[in-house]
């Protein structure tokens, strides 16, 4: 756990869960697995606050507990997970993706589940229906069945998954964090309520949910009243107690990865090739395991049949496009055989590596200029080069090339490799070669990204603190305005209240809002880079 990671996690926890949880969380992150007493002693927080914080962290999946290392009698140990806390940065992206795929209902389901950690299906459906009903016109309300349908669709496409079961005896967690697509999960877990055992973590439970979303302070029809009464009588027995659902982040990440590949192809080649790649990825969504290097081989015939109908591409043109894709130096698509008109695969890992490389190159270009970027790209391709060779290949005059190389070296983007000619490593008889290693450089840039986001958050907190008085004043005035409008005041009174904020204050507020928007937007965009680099590093780790 690097210092930057801990700092960023601390800031995220503080924003979303408060200072107490932040203290407990950072303590766990820094010191590994700890038991309750140690946490209480070392953080100096009262016992019940520590317990509450641990409950909150476990609820959101940021902390896991297991029986102690010293044997079955030792106290329960808690361990915080840095990755899960980092996902908080990406919540807006998940919610937006759900909106594009499943509409407003899907968006609200994902938002509720992200905010609450994990929930049962019935409570999710009820809350989402109520929220949707609030936004609908008078007299309309949202059916529970519609929301349940969207929920089931999300589960079918694996965007939602069941929380892993907790062994009741001794409260020790079975170490299966993600019983993903294996249908035969261990059958030694007893389920509390549903008759069928945990055969599959993507199985939607049989839930008897009949009703509509409720709107507060509104009169209901007779039918709704009956259903509402029934719902009130058995408040929680809908047949799915103990079955909690959580968002499956890995599936979202696969979706983001596919999106990145498709947009890269669209930028490099053209729209039609990106549609072909999109079709190929869509076809192999279910058959490809998440850690695969490339998708399953698809024949050209299958691709032709599955293309979207509004793309009138004839067969020979499709073949030409596929050949182009295969010959492209980025190697997004590869040919693995000739049967069925040619077997094609999408090279996922290689695509990720290329995307990461493009990110690194663009970072160097934006920070040091295009000529330094040329040297960097040269070194990436040619691996090891001497000082003289760099100058020649890059076609840059010697002095400037030297300068740029040293700047890159001091920033640790370029490394020096010594190759001795004689066993005594005499400097005059040693080759000094410049080289770039993509994976360590990517790791370093990832740490820089964490530092960047932490700095952005701190700056935003600083700006808010500076103008705290002004913000409070404007909030109070907004509240007064809202209450005046609700009670039907005259426009003169409204303007009078509005004038309580002077024009220079208005300007200050405006610029403050503009700054905060910029900082927030920057956080979102740095998170995209974090996603790319993290996926690349993870993919390389598995090799």
Contact present, 185 and 175 (Cβ < 8 Å): no
Handedness of CA 167, 171, 175, 177 (dihedral sign): positive
| Least spacing, CB of residue 500 vs another protein, in Å | 23
Looking at the Cβ atoms of 298 and 404, the one nearer to another protein is: 404
Residue number with CB closer to another protein (93 or 268): 93
Contact 295, 281 (CB under 8 A): yes
Shortest separation between residue 520's beta carbon and another protein, angstroms? 5
Closest contact distance (angstroms) between CB of 18 and another protein is: 5
Strands annotated E in 67-164: 77-80, 119-120, 160-162
Smaller CB distance to another protein: residue 56 or 185? 56
The answer to whether 170 touches 67, Cβ cutoff 8 Å, is yes
154 vs 390 by CB, closer to another protein = 390
Identity of the residue, 95 or 109, whose beta carbon is nearer to another protein in the bound complex:
95
Least distance from C-beta 59 to another protein, angstroms?
A: 6
CB of 81 to another protein, least distance (A): 16
Q: Nearest-CA neighbor of 342 among 281, 297, 299, 283?
A: 299
Nearer to another protein, 17 or 151 (CB): 17
Nearby residues of 447 by Cβ (< 8 Å), 6 or more positions away: 2, 4, 5
Q: How far is the CB of 66 from another protein (least distance, A)?
A: 9
We find the least distance from the C-beta atom of residue 113 to another protein, in angstroms, to be 13
Residues near another protein (CB under 8 A): 15-21, 36, 48-49, 51-56, 58-60, 65, 75-76, 91-93, 95-96, 111, 114-117, 163, 166, 168, 171, 192, 242, 244, 366-369, 387-388, 398, 402, 427-428, 430, 432, 517-518, 520-525
| Closest distance to another protein from the beta carbon of 120 (Å) | 9
Between CA 360 and CA 382 the distance in angstroms is: 16
Residues 346, 333: contact at Cβ < 8 Å?
yes
**Long-range own/partner contacts, residues 431-437 (CB < 8 A, 24 or more apart):** 431/386, 432/386, 432/387, 433/384, 433/385, 433/386, 434/379, 434/384, 434/385, 434/386, 434/387, 434/390, 434/405, 434/409, 435/379, 435/383, 435/384, 435/385, 436/376, 436/379, 436/380
Q: What is the DSSP letter of 174?
A: P
User: Alpha helices, DSSP H only, in 18-137?
Assistant: 19-31, 36-43, 47-59, 82-86, 91-116, 121-135
Cβ closest to another protein, residue 95 vs residue 154: 95
Cβ-based nearer residue to another protein, 92 or 290: 92
């Amino acid at each position: 756990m690097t210092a930057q990671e801990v700092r960023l996690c601390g800031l995220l926890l503080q924003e979303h869960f408060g200072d107490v949880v932040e203290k407990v969380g950072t303590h766990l992150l820094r010191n590994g697995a700890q038991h309750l007493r140690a946490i209480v002693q070392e953080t100096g927080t009262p016992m019940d606050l520590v317990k509450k914080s641990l409950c909150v962290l476990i609820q959101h999946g940021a902390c896991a507990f297991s029986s102690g290392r010293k044997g079955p009698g030792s106290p329960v140990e808690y361990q915080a997970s840095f990755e899960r806390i980092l996902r908080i940065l990406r919540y807006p992206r998940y919610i937006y993706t759900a909106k594009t795929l499943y509409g407003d209902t899907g968006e609200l389901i994902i938002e509720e589940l992200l905010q609450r950690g994990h929930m049962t299906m019935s409570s999710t459906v009820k809350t989402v229906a109520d929220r949707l009903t609030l936004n609908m016109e008078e007299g309309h309300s949202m059916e529970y069945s519609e929301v349940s349908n969207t929920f089931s669709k999300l589960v079918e496409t694996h965007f939602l998954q069941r929380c892993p079961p907790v062994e009741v005896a001794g409260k020790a967690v079975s170490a299966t964090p993600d019983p993903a697509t294996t249908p035969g999960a261990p059958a030694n877990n007893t389920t509390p309520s549903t008759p069928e055992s945990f055969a599959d973590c993507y199985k939607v439970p049989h839930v008897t949910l009949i009703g509509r979303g409720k709107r507060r302070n509104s009169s209901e029809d007779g039918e709704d009243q009956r259903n509402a009464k029934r719902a009130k009588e058995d408040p929680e027995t809908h047949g799915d107690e103990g079955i909690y659902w959580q968002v499956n982040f890995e599936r979202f990440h696969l979706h983001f990865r596919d999106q990145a590949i498709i947009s890269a192809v669209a930028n490099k080649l053209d729209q039609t090739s990106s549609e072909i790649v999109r079709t190929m990825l869509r076809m192999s969504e279910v058959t490809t395991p998440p850690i695969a290097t490339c998708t399953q081989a698809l024949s050209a015939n299958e691709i032709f049949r599955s293309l979207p109908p509004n793309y009138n591409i004839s067969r020979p043109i499709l073949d030409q496009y596929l050949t182009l894709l295969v010959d492209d130096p980025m190697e997004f698509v590869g040919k693995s055989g000739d049967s069925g008109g040619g077997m094609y695969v999408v090279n996922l890992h290689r695509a990720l590596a290329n995307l990461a490389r493009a990110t690194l190159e663009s970072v160097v270009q934006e920070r040091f200029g295009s000529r330094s970027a040329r040297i960097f790209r040269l070194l990436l391709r040619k691996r090891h080069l001497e000082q003289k060779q760099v100058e020649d290949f890059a076609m840059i005059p010697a002095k400037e090339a030297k300068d740029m190389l040293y700047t890159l070296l001091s920033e640790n983007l370029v490394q020096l490799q010594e190759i001795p000619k004689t066993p005594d490593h005499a400097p005059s008889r040693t080759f000094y070669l410049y080289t770039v290693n993509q994976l360590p450089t990517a790791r370093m840039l990832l740490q820089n990204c964490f530092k960047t986001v932490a700095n952005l958050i701190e700056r935003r907190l600083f700006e808010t603190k500076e103008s705290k008085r002004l913000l409070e004043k404007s909030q109070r005035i907004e509240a007064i305005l809202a209450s005046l409008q609700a009670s039907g005041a005259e426009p003169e009174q409204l303007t009078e209240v509005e004038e309580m904020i002077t024009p220079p204050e208005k300007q200050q507020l405006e610029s403050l809002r503009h700054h905060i928007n910029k900082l927030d937007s920057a956080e979102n965009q740095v998170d995209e880079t974090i996603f790319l680099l993290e996926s690349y590093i993870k993919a390389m780790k598995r090799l």
